[in-house]
């Protein structure tokens, strides 16, 4: 009898052990990479982890900028069950770290020398209080324009380098019978377009307004001009722009139904997924007036505090993400550029090579700024107040740019 009991206990113990072992080598990942191009990039990560014996439990929550994903995250954390790793941006990482929710990646970071190869601008968000709390995947940038090459050629004009040239191309595309700008009317997309317009007013102005939250800059004449231009651009959209997903807007440009899209370089992932080639099928340029400057965001996997059993998988995931091999393979597909400075640009297409060179230049010149739209300029409460005014301006709420700028200054003062 005793023998039988002993055996039964042993079997149960073995079962428990194998179950917990299986779970310990899995990572449950919350992310918003759900479009075709994003899924292709995500597969690079899943495959790499699989090769290292790490299983993937998928938790996708669609929506660029990650707002919906962050709402889901809050519910999971409140229920006492955070995912292992969470795609996260900028100030959100700092907020969770401040609340003591994130783990610590210092050991793996020290072993692999992350401090030396990951730029300060990225470390500023991936570290909290001097400790690594997130694994940076990439660096994206919002001040890009994605143009259908055939539609541009048809205008007989060159790719625009100034505001006036941009307006001339848009007018010609309209006359040619296509929708000049493919856009999705969602607050984060409106804000993405606005990032570029404010950056075109100058890097110093952008910093003063979006990073320092200087009331005079927020409510002044340059901000009014940026809003006037936003209102002007809103006249080039099609009737169905409201609430369209960003990747469907990219598809309009890919198909030639629209001329161009103002969007971060994740849009390139959609063009590539559709088999299109830069320079042949589409053209990538910096938003006119922002050449030499980069408004960036960095996708990072914030690692939540988990039991010791799951920590090894977290560290293995972080280590795989920071490997130069992954940084090249993933970012080539994703449209972003590596989060480390020592990855060769050889595997990247011309837009990717330009992105890498632009980043190096901006980093050296001090023209690398955190994207307002992507939560890298100010914390969420401020960002959301900015979204409200920008979306209002896109939808005819203010009689002109000056009124919108005043509303912005007031909204920020209230949110501070
Ligand atoms: C992320 C990108 C993503 C885009 C659209 C951004 O917030 O940084 O990685 O592709 O949203 O989903």
- Residue 213 CA to ligand 1 center (angstroms) comes to 24
Structural domain boundaries enclosing 266? 141-296+360-415
HEC sequence for the chain: CHHHHHHHHHHHHHHHHHHHHHHHCEEEEEECCCCHHHHHHHHHHHHHHHHCCCEEEEEECCCHHHHHHHHHHHHHHHCCCCCCEEEEEHHHHHHHHHCCCECCCHHHHHHHCHHHHCCHHHHHHHEECCEECEEECEEEECCEEEEEHHHHHHHCCCCCCCHHHHHHHHHHHHHCCCEEECCCECHHHHHHHHHHHHHCCCHHHHHHHHHCCCHHHHHCHHHHHHHHHHHHHHHHCCCCCECCCHHHHHHHHHHCCEEEEECCCCHHHHHHHCCCCECCCEEEEECCCCCCCEEEECEEEEEECCCHHHHHHHHHHHHHHHCHHHHHHHHHHHCCEECCCCCCCCCCCHHHHHHHHHHHHHHHHCCEEECCCCCCCCCHHHHHHHHHHHHHHHCCCCCCHHHHHHHHHHHHHHHC
Residue 223 lies in a domain: yes
The pLDDT assigned to 12 comes to 44
Specify the pLDDT at position 23.
Answer: 53
Is 303 in contact with 101 (CB distance < 8 Å)?
no
Q: Is residue 375 part of a domain?
A: yes
Output the pLDDT for position 25: 85
Q: Are residues 130 and 182 in the same domain?
A: no
66 lines ligand 1 (CB under 6 A): yes
Ligand 1 pocket member 297 (CB < 6 A)? yes
Q: What are phi and psi of 362, to 5 degrees?
A: -65, -40
Residues 172, 87, single domain; the answer is: no
Kindly report whether the global pTM for this prediction surpasses the value 0.85.
yes
Residues 202 and 71 in one domain: no
Nearest ligand 1 atom to the CA of 297 is 8
Task: Tell whether 59 and 104 lie within a shared domain.
Answer: yes
**Is residue 85's pLDDT more than 60?**
yes
Give the separation between CA 307 and CA 222, rounded to whole angstroms: 51
**Is 258 within the bounds of a domain?**
yes
Domain annotation covers residue 251: yes
Ligand 1 pocket, residue 64 CB under 6 Å = yes
Task: Point out the ligand 1 atom lying closest to the alpha carbon of residue 299.
Answer: 8
Q: What is the pLDDT of residue 9?
A: 41
* 348 occurs within a structural domain: no
* Pocket of ligand 1 contains residue 65 by CB under 6 Å: yes
User: What would the pLDDT profile of 2-25 be if each residue is shown by its tens digit?
Assistant: 443 344 444 444 444 444 444 568
Is the same domain home to 130 and 65? yes
- pLDDT by residue (tens digit) across 274-289? 999 999 999 999 999 9
| Whole-number average pLDDT of the chain | 94
Q: Are 79 and 72 in contact (CB under 8 A)?
A: no
pLDDT at 308: 86
Q: Is residue 342 part of a domain?
A: no
pLDDT (average), residues 217-223:
98
Determine the pLDDT at residue 307.
Answer: 87
Share of the chain above pLDDT 70, in %: 94
**How confident is the model at residue 1, as a pLDDT?**
36
Whole-angstrom distance, CA of residue 113 vs CA of residue 118: 9
Within-domain flag for 37: yes
Measured from the CB, is residue 31 less than 6 Å from ligand 1?
no
**Mean of the pLDDT values across residues 125-150?**
98
Residues 102 and 147 in one domain: no
Indicate if 116 and 167 belong to the same structural domain.
no
Q: Which atom of ligand 1 is the closest one to the Cα of 38?
A: 10
Residue 161 lies in a domain: yes
Task: Give me the pLDDT at residue 64, please.
Answer: 85
- The CATH number of the domain holding residue 41 is 3.40.190.10
The pLDDT of 186-198, averaged and rounded, is: 98
292 and 314 share one domain: no
Please tell me the distance from the alpha carbon of residue 83 to that of residue 244, in angstroms, as a whole number: 29
Confidence at residue 186, expressed as pLDDT on a 0 to 100 scale: 97
Q: pLDDT value at position 21?
A: 40
Same domain, 165 and 199: yes
- Identify the pLDDT of residue 392: 98
* Residues 6 and 123 placed together within one structural domain of the fold: yes
Q: What is the pLDDT of residue 18?
A: 41
> What pLDDT is attached to residue 172?
98
101 and 128, same domain (yes or no): yes
For residue 305, how many other CB atoms are within 10 A of its CB? Answer: 14
| Overall number of domains in the chain | 2
Rounded Cα distance between 211 and 378, Å, is 6
pLDDT tens digits for 65-83? 899 999 999 999 999 999 9
Average pLDDT over residues 109-116: 98
Instruction: Please tell me whether residues 306 and 288 are part of one structural domain.
Output: no
Residue percentage of the chain with pLDDT more than 90: 92
**pLDDT tens readout for residues 167-185:** 999 999 999 999 999 999 9
Query: What are the pLDDT digits (tens) for 377-401?
Result: 999 999 999 999 999 999 999 999 9
């Amino acid at each position: 009898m005793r023998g039988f009991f002993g055996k039964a206990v042993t079997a149960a113990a073995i079962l428990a052990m194998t179950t917990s072992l299986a779970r310990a080598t899995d990572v449950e990942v919350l992310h918003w990479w759900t479009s075709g191009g994003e899924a292709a990039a995500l597969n690079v990560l899943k495959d790499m982890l699989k090769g290292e014996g790490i299983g993937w439990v998928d938790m996708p929550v669609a929506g660029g900028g990650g707002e919906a994903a962050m709402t889901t995250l809050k519910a999971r954390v409140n229920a006492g069950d955070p995912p292992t790793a969470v795609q996260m941006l900028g100030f959100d990482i700092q907020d969770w770290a401040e609340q003591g929710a994130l783990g610590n990646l210092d050991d793996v970071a020290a072993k692999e020398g992350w401090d030396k190869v990951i730029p300060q601008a990225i470390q500023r968000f991936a570290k909290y209080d001097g400790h690594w709390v997130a694994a940076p995947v990439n660096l994206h940038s919002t001040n890009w324009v994605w143009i259908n090459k055939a539609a541009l050629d048809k205008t007989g004009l060159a790719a625009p380098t100034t505001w006036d040239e941009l307006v001339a191309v848009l007018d010609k595309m309209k006359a040619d019978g296509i929708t000049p700008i493919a856009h999705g009317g969602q607050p984060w997309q409106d804000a993405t377009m606005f990032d570029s317009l404010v950056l075109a007013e100058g890097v110093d102005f952008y910093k003063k307004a979006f990073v320092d939250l200087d009331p005079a800059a927020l409510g002044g004449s340059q901000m009014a001009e940026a809003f006037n231009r936003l209102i002007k651009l809103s006249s080039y959209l099609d009737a169905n722009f409201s609430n369209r997903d960003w990747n469907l807007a990219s598809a309009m440009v890919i198909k030639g139904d629209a001329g161009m899209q103002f969007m971060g370089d994740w849009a390139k992932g959609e063009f590539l997924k559709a088999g299109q080639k830069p320079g042949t099928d589409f053209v990538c340029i910096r938003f006119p007036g922002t050449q030499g400057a980069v408004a960036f965001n960095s996708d990072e996997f914030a690692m939540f505090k988990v039991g010791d059993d799951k920590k090894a998988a977290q560290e293995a995931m972080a280590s795989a993400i920071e490997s130069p091999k992954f940084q090249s393979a993933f970012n080539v597909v994703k449209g972003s550029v590596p989060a480390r400075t020592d990855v060769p640009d050889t595997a990247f297409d011309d837009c990717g090579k330009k992105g890498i060179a632009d980043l190096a230049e901006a980093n050296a010149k001090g023209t690398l700024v955190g994207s307002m739209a992507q939560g890298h300029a100010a914390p969420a409460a401020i960002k959301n107040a900015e979204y409200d005014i920008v979306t209002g301006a896109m939808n005819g709420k203010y009689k002109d740019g000056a009124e919108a700028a005043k509303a912005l200054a007031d909204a920020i003062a209230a949110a501070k």
